[in-house]
Copies of this chain bind each other. A is one copy, B any other.
């Protein structure tokens, strides 16, 4: 392995004819350096291709500038857009994202958190899974910040960002009811995530409140393929639903495709659909899906400002997912 040779502050100092401290101060925000020395240092640094070693800097300061993003299935549209938003916000807060890919197991999330500790990350943001308390305790005790997005379990000292899933589900029911639907169903995955369950329960609850039965099916992961299967199951029931609220836009797309191509149903006249997330594809004219928009940018902004600024007392933020009316429900 070829040795790595980076230019150090010492070399810059020698070339600029100043002390090493002067170089360090030149690149430290708010340190005391004269115009003249700064100029000479910058010049020498430029010429030599010097860059402050953030590893060494992180050793002295109590900030490494690293924030660890922990997520599974990062190629999923919603997940990907959240990651994009997070990295953007982190970068404008002069932080850098470290991305850890987990499978869905809580064990692997634990491993990811250990990695975050090893790199002395300033914070970890968890998008999937929920690690054991023993590990989150180490994080928090070490002074590492922790942000949980759409997780349910509580951790003292962590910031929890959640959506109004339950309310949204109830609004979905009302919207479908007003559209004249009579037979309701909820298409869920088997990944019984807190937020997915909140949507399911909110929808059922709304059904009960209006004295209507809600059919529920659960299958697989929250993917397009699961949507195909779920549609198959729901639409072959003896009382076929004319309204399906899907846990997810991906599922909704699957359901819609199966309903149209396999069952030859027209949407929205014979079947109304509502999804959740407002992924890119929901806008595509083949789907034109009515759905709830995840406030992705707001989530990212909230997370980043919290972990970048002084520790406010706020421990939990609830953001709202707004209903986006499109063509998959009658009479928007």
Report Cα–Cα, A224/B288, bound state, in Å. Answer: 13
Chain B residues whose CB sits within 8 angstroms of the CB of A257 once the complex forms: 284-286
Closest chain B residue to A3, Cβ basis: B62
0/1 interface trace, chain A 268-283, chain B, CB 8 Å (1 if under): 0000000000001101
Report Cα–Cα, A311/B228, bound state, in Å. Answer: 47
Chain B residues whose CB sits within 8 angstroms of the CB of A286 once the complex forms: 253, 257, 260-261, 286-287
Chain B residues whose CB sits within 8 angstroms of the CB of A101 once the complex forms: 84, 87-88, 91, 97
Taking a contact as CB atoms under 8 Å apart, the answer to whether A74 and B87 are in contact is yes
Q: For the complex, would chain A's binding face be called helix, strand, loop or mixed by DSSP majority?
A: mixed
Taking a contact as CB atoms under 8 Å apart, the answer to whether A280 and B62 are in contact is no
0/1 interface trace, chain A 58-75, chain B, CB 8 Å (1 if under): 110011101001000111
Taking a contact as CB atoms under 8 Å apart, the answer to whether B74 and A119 are in contact is no
Report Cα–Cα, A224/B286, bound state, in Å. Answer: 12
Q: Distance (Å) between the CB of A142 and the closest chain B CB?
A: 5
Q: With A4-B143, A74-B87 given, is the CB distance from A53 to B99 under 8 Å?
A: no
Taking a contact as CB atoms under 8 Å apart, the answer to whether B4 and A120 are in contact is yes
Report Cα–Cα, A120/B101, bound state, in Å. Answer: 22
Report Cα–Cα, A141/B50, bound state, in Å. Answer: 12
Taking a contact as CB atoms under 8 Å apart, the answer to whether A56 and B59 are in contact is yes
User: A155 at interface (Cβ–Cβ under 8 A)?
Assistant: no
Taking a contact as CB atoms under 8 Å apart, the answer to whether B224 and A6 are in contact is no
0/1 interface trace, chain A 130-173, chain B, CB 8 Å (1 if under): 00000000100111100000000000000000000000000000
Report Cα–Cα, A187/B120, bound state, in Å. Answer: 47
Q: Which of A70-94 contact B (CB under 8 A)?
A: 73-77, 80-81, 83-84, 87-88, 91
Q: 15 more A-B contacts (CB under 8 A) besides A1-B311, A4-B120, A257-B286?
A: A1-B62, A4-B122, A5-B142, A54-B120, A55-B59, A55-B64, A75-B80, A75-B84, A83-B99, A88-B101, A99-B99, A224-B283, A253-B286, A260-B286, A281-B281
Q: Can you give 26 A-B contacts (C-beta < 8 A)?
A: A1-B63, A4-B62, A5-B141, A6-B142, A7-B142, A49-B142, A52-B118, A53-B120, A55-B56, A55-B119, A56-B59, A74-B80, A74-B87, A83-B99, A87-B101, A88-B101, A91-B100, A96-B98, A96-B119, A97-B101, A98-B98, A98-B99, A224-B283, A253-B284, A253-B286, A257-B286
